[in-house]
Amino acid sequence: MKNTSMFINSHFLNLLYKRIYKNYFFISFFITIIIFSIIFQAIINTILSKEKESFLDKKSNYFQFLLIKTIIISSLLIIFSFSISQFFLYNDRKINIFNLEIKTGVNIKISIYYRLLVIISYITLLILIMLVIDSFFLLNISNKFEILKNLIITKYSFYFLLTTLVVSISYLLLNFINEYIIYILVGITSFFLPLSSYVSPIINQTYSEIEKIYNSSDSINNNSLRYKSLNKIANSIYQNDDYNNTFNINFDINSLKDLSILQGNFLKNNFYDDLNNTSPFFYNFINDSHKFYLNKNLNNNKKINFEDFIFNQSNYNYVEDNNLYYFYDILSDYMKNINNEDFKNFINIFLDFSKEFLVLNLFASDIFIDSSSSGLLNEQLWKNDIDKYSSLEEISLYWFIAKTYNLMLEMSNVEFTNVLTLKDEENNVNDIKLFQYLNPFEIYKTITYGGFYKNDQEYVAIINSSTQSGLLIRSFYKLVYKENVSNNSDYKITDYSYVEYDIFNYDIFYIVIILIVIINIYLNFYRIKKLLIE
């Protein structure tokens, strides 16, 4: 008897699968969605592969087509998910197929759950096929766009969540509401909900209070991202007895008598001589590093040209022509070839930041430094001091160190700390939370990008600097003042520890929604069972 039941169930499941792939409408719809996905991904690939187009134009077009793709694919997935749910859960009940199945020995519970399994299987297969195709396309995009490529992949967790919700809600509505009303609701939803990602930012800009929420969100997110990048460096320096006297060096732009020092002109006579008193370690580091580069470029008589510096290059905005790891390569080479372990360890503190510095500064639109002004090397400021250096590589190393210290100083000012300690921002954070959770269109816009996997601040900064979407902050580093701090330097960034503060946790939200879906389906089983009995 048990074997007979298993045979019937197995045959029944196979029959349900066949009803879909032998149905012309569903297979045509299935293929149509895949074709649309391929077309848009091909366009996105073409955009990122275009030569002789500035990165700003390329980035703008990329996000525009990514938004259009999301709107169209989301609409098609809503319609497909509803159609297959309606076909299995409503039509079959309406024409008494459920009753026929029960008469042949199929249990009601098995009949309903197998249908849900088939529905979810086809939807999952569709999403996986699109994911595989997109992944194949992404292999042909330069790794320099890695950070943008990830935004395409993160969409797929959203697509799965969206279709799961549609199936669950369809299951609920088809049991309680008139069929034609449901068709109207699905039509409106499939059109207006995806379109809200485009329309809501335009509407929000007309309300000053909403604009204030977005501005506050941007301020907290950008400051948190800078702190996230610089906090590790500052604490590593502060906790080392040899390195922490480098905090006696003031790289404050308002205090320097010569701005070329902020550009890495460490061999400037007065500055270099004073280093022996302010920071003997840094003095020895510069002295040893200068000798290293002199020996390295002993046979190099090429004149230093500031136009070859990464920010001075006329093609800086053409990503393909640039080395986004310009500073990372310089620091790595220095570490490989220097013998002094203290200096090697000192440079190692800056290594991780050097790898992300240019990438984030370019993709998040000058998040660290203004590439068109303060990032440039100015030959007029340096004058004859240029001749003291052996190569642009040496100057670039000093430039990066000077700018990093200057950034740590900026992160130490009162305006910055007041933002991340929430001294001035607590009410704004509460407004952001309320607006995010109580506005369904805001929630929808937030989840369309999927999960950022511990890179929330990076991606929110990139998206907001590239689009009009106005994505609200998901999490940030909240600063907490340390007790018994004895820091006499101007680098107050080390006076704080931090806690990760979640405003919107995508992973938890995702799990909660899936649990609600499961509970909804389970409870509605009894409703459909009652209808069948009646």
Is residue 91, in this structure, part of any structural domain at all?
yes
- pLDDT tens readout for residues 465-492: 888 777 899 999 998 888 877 777 888 8
47 with 162, same domain? yes
Check whether 2 has a pLDDT greater than 60: no
Please report the pLDDT score of residue 173 as a whole number: 80
> At 511, is the pLDDT very low, low, confident or very high (cuts 50, 70, 90)?
very high
Check whether 221 has a pLDDT greater than 90: yes
Please report the pLDDT score of residue 33 as a whole number: 95
Q: What is the spatial distance between Cα 121 and Cα 534, in angstroms, rounded to a whole number?
A: 30
359 with 464, same domain? no
> At 243, is the pLDDT very low, low, confident or very high (cuts 50, 70, 90)?
very high
Check whether 456 has a pLDDT greater than 70: yes
230 with 316, same domain? yes
> At 181, is the pLDDT very low, low, confident or very high (cuts 50, 70, 90)?
confident
23 with 56, same domain? yes
177 with 75, same domain? yes
Please report the pLDDT score of residue 187 as a whole number: 79
Check whether 329 has a pLDDT greater than 80: yes
Check whether 5 has a pLDDT greater than 70: no
Please report the pLDDT score of residue 284 as a whole number: 94
> At 313, is the pLDDT very low, low, confident or very high (cuts 50, 70, 90)?
confident
Is residue 531, in this structure, part of any structural domain at all?
no
Q: How does strand 475-481 pair with strand 496-502?
A: antiparallel
374-383: Cβ within 8 A, 24+ apart: 375/311, 376/309, 376/311, 376/312, 377/263, 377/306, 377/309, 377/311, 377/312, 378/259, 378/260, 378/263, 378/306, 379/306, 381/258, 381/259, 381/260, 381/263, 381/265, 382/260, 382/263, 382/265, 382/306
**DSSP labels, 291-311:** HHHHHHTTT--PPP-GGGSTT
162 with 139, same domain? yes
Q: What's the average model confidence in pLDDT over 43-57? A: 80
8 A C-beta contact, residue 282 and residue 249: yes
pLDDT more than 90, % of the chain: 38
Check whether 457 has a pLDDT greater than 70: yes
Tokens of 188: 């409106």
Is residue 456, in this structure, part of any structural domain at all?
yes
- Among the listed ranges 62-66, 140-144, 184-188, which one has the minimum average pLDDT value? 184-188
Please report the pLDDT score of residue 530 as a whole number: 67
15 with 111, same domain? yes
Ramachandran assignment for 366, one of left (phi > 0), alpha (psi -120 to 50 degrees), beta (any other): left
**Average pLDDT across the chain, whole number:** 86
From residue 38, give the alpha-carbon distance in Å to each of 130, 162, 194.
8, 20, 19
Of the residues 384, 411, 438, the one at which a domain ends? 411
Q: Which domain holds residue 270?
A: 218-411
Q: b vs e for 469-503, b when ≥16 Cβ sit within 10 Å of the residue's Cβ? A: bbbbbbbbbbbeeeeeeeeebbbbbbbbebeebeb
48 with 123, same domain? yes
> At 188, is the pLDDT very low, low, confident or very high (cuts 50, 70, 90)?
confident
Is residue 515, in this structure, part of any structural domain at all?
no
Check whether 319 has a pLDDT greater than 70: no
| Total number of domains constituting the chain | 3
231 with 314, same domain? yes
- pLDDT tens readout for residues 164-178: 999 888 888 877 777
190 with 226, same domain? no
> At 427, is the pLDDT very low, low, confident or very high (cuts 50, 70, 90)?
confident
From residue 318, give the alpha-carbon distance in Å to each of 134, 292, 293, 321.
24, 32, 29, 6
Of the residues 381, 411, 441, the one at which a domain ends? 411
DSSP H stretches of helix in 305-425? 326-337, 341-363, 379-382, 392-410, 414-420
Q: What is the spatial distance between Cα 459 and Cα 463, in angstroms, rounded to a whole number?
A: 6
Q: What's the average model confidence in pLDDT over 320-334? A: 87
Is residue 478, in this structure, part of any structural domain at all?
yes
Is residue 522, in this structure, part of any structural domain at all?
no
Please report the pLDDT score of residue 191 as a whole number: 75
Q: What's the average model confidence in pLDDT over 53-73? A: 86
352 burial (CB, 10 Å; 0-12 / 13-18 / 19+) is: middle
55 burial (CB, 10 Å; 0-12 / 13-18 / 19+) is: buried
Is residue 448, in this structure, part of any structural domain at all?
yes
- pLDDT tens readout for residues 437-448: 888 888 888 899
> At 8, is the pLDDT very low, low, confident or very high (cuts 50, 70, 90)?
low
154 with 262, same domain? no
Q: What is the spatial distance between Cα 351 and Cα 185, in angstroms, rounded to a whole number?
A: 54
55 with 147, same domain? yes
Is residue 390, in this structure, part of any structural domain at all?
yes
From residue 250, give the alpha-carbon distance in Å to each of 191, 257, 273, 490.
57, 11, 14, 8
Report which of residues 207 and 515 the model is more confident about: 515
Report which of residues 257 and 312 the model is more confident about: 312
